[in-house]
Structure 1
């Protein structure tokens, strides 16, 4: 059935197009009998207003804000969701929507706080951010709620908040996926090293959740019964990584696998190659350029992909659909994991 137009409703109701427009968009007084007749015709024909055209007529520009860690050579992962956000913004700029990107130094919670204050000062129409620091992010969500600013999480989410939507993977389940892969490659009594590159793991939401998921797998169903050794490294500095790994691996020769909860598996792979520790399974997250290099030469065995570009792109779309089009949206959009090894990396779509 062809989509009904305002002109068609006017003809069926025997009124002018202007009268139908006033009723459908609540722009003026219309006799109750006429109004009811127009609404009944619209409902019977499943009339949907052209919201995109309405957005084009809007005189006020909506400004969305993103808040992400600064993409650096060490944290190149964050370029992908940023590109997704910016590409989505470019596609919608004709609808009077703009995006401003704010950045904070990874592992620097005070810098995160400073950026949230700057964001609140400009009173944006919506916010996209990754709640890396649990306490600070929760406070930020409370401030956004107070100002009536909708926000969308990506990469991880805070359950104790009234977020508009979440786009990303399940961090806890990601840890279980990694555990399942490692479990296939180990003997029953082999030990496993879990490496978190974070200053305060308990306050770094996504890494903490992955660690919990990893350990839960072995409590539930894992065949491996060896030690699960947690190692926190507060910096990605190569010297510090070497010192910390030396102290663990050279005193525990039974460690046969390493799981790192973030995207810097290449830092560990570089160490393992230099120390000729080629018999240790290494698994981490994200097919960034540095990780792919070590995946291809065999130092990294598996990477878990979580579609960061799509996270950014879809997060922007969630805000757009809610703020501009007033659409109902799916609250949680959980993206699948990709298990990537040397055999399939050339086929992987980034």
Structure 2
């Protein structure tokens, strides 16, 4: 007699093979009624592992509701971020982790704070990409008082109130960018540095690291005053065009935050590949193409999968074990992309 396969159970239960596989091999969470359908079909067909499925259904997993507040919903990086967070939460087998992701349409501190409090109403812990501002700090303190720890993602905020910062060491990332520009720039000339705003602590740290490295390795290069681009493509594009026209010897550009698409577009219009050394953040379709055709020199990227797994782990532990009094930082190693690697 042929052994019953997962495909047979899926057909009997009227479910997909992937759903049955998740139940049988504990590869994630499914609804209780769905798991029951799998168990019933397995018993009807005489599946050898039916009793093990019953045992799994009898185990009551702790439910942990995890909330996330992100920005820039339409951008590829943040969509990838959302997907990785949800996948990391659903992959947990020790708890029943339910992710709730909300995007904020603006970078207004009050909007971010409002979103944090709203998400906190329905979750046990909250992780955010937010600016460092007293409104965000107040929301963090309110959530903490309610027993709901807050975690800072990518950019640190609310020191003394948030639970952990998880992301890159932005000072180190700035030094890496400064070294790359000073190494790749062709001859003496000017270098431009774009920052989102002074409210993004991560951008300020990158600027500090960039300038520190530049003093050591870029004696023939003149670093211009930092440009605030509000992380927008259009403003970065228009400003890059103006800088290229004003400074024919512009030989390097670093975009410390968002808006890299604008710098890349301007360089494509005004310069040949490789004439200006360009360092940007996060590997996306746009930055990968710029590396491929020689308009980007280096991409410093966040390892999203590792970031999300680490974030989920810290959030789950804080909910189960309680908030800690030792607020910390978890630095991840950046992923470096160069033209030969794409």
- Report what 2:154 is aligned to: 155
- Report what 2:41 is aligned to: none
Question: Is 1:218 matched up with 2:223?
Answer: no
Q: 1:159-188: per-residue Cα shift (whole Å, max 9, x none)?
A: 722433332111121111100111112367
TM (normalized to structure 1)? 0.72
Please show how residues 227-238 of structure 1 align to structure 2 within 5 Å: 227-234=223-230, 236-238=232-234
How many residues are matched? 284
- Report what 2:244 is aligned to: 249
Equivalent pair of 2:65/2:98 in contact (CA under 8 Å): yes
Please show how residues 68-217 of structure 1 align to structure 2 within 5 Å: 68-72=70-74, 75-92=75-92, 95-122=95-122, 124-158=123-157, 160-186=159-185, 189-196=188-195, 198=196, 201-217=197-213
Distance in 2, matches of 1:235 and 1:85, equals 23
- Report what 1:287 is aligned to: 283
Q: For the pair shown, which has the larger CA radius of gyration, 1 or 2?
A: 1
- Report what 1:47 is aligned to: none
- Go from structure 1 to structure 2 and tell me whether the alpha carbon gap of 1:333 and 1:293 turns closer, same or farther (over 3 Å shift): same
Q: 1:98-123: per-residue Cα shift (whole Å, max 9, x none)?
A: 1211210243334313312312433x
Distance in 2, matches of 1:157 and 1:242, equals 27
Distance in 1, matches of 2:92 and 2:99, equals 10
Distance in 2, matches of 1:321 and 1:204, equals 27
Equivalent pair of 1:166/1:315 in contact (CA under 8 Å): no
Equivalent pair of 1:81/1:310 in contact (CA under 8 Å): no
User: Structure 1: which 5+ residue stretches go unaligned?
Assistant: 1-52, 346-350
Equivalent pair of 2:133/2:158 in contact (CA under 8 Å): no
- Report what 2:27 is aligned to: none
Distance in 1, matches of 2:79 and 2:100, equals 15
* Alpha-carbon RMSD: 2.9
Distance in 1, matches of 2:167 and 2:236, equals 29
Question: Is 1:342 matched up with 2:339?
Answer: yes
In structure 2, the residue corresponding to 1:324 is in which secondary structure?
helix
Distance in 1, matches of 2:160 and 2:220, equals 37
Distance in 2, matches of 1:126 and 1:192, equals 42
In structure 2, the residue corresponding to 1:57 is in which secondary structure?
coil
Distance in 2, matches of 1:171 and 1:326, equals 28
Distance in 2, matches of 1:192 and 1:292, equals 22
- Go from structure 1 to structure 2 and tell me whether the alpha carbon gap of 1:242 and 1:319 turns closer, same or farther (over 3 Å shift): closer
- Go from structure 1 to structure 2 and tell me whether the alpha carbon gap of 1:57 and 1:153 turns closer, same or farther (over 3 Å shift): same
- Go from structure 1 to structure 2 and tell me whether the alpha carbon gap of 1:237 and 1:171 turns closer, same or farther (over 3 Å shift): closer
Q: 1:254-273: per-residue Cα shift (whole Å, max 9, x none)?
A: 21000011254232111111
Q: 1:23-63: per-residue Cα shift (whole Å, max 9, x none)?
A: xxxxxxxxxxxxxxxxxxxxxxxxxxxxxx9x9536x7331
Report the CA distance between 1:207 and its aligned residue.
Answer: 2.0
User: Structure 2: which 5+ residue stretches go unaligned?
Assistant: 1-55
Q: 1:49-86: per-residue Cα shift (whole Å, max 9, x none)?
A: xxxx9x9536x7331111111431xx221123322221
Equivalent pair of 2:68/2:99 in contact (CA under 8 Å): yes
- Go from structure 1 to structure 2 and tell me whether the alpha carbon gap of 1:294 and 1:126 turns closer, same or farther (over 3 Å shift): same
Equivalent pair of 2:149/2:323 in contact (CA under 8 Å): no
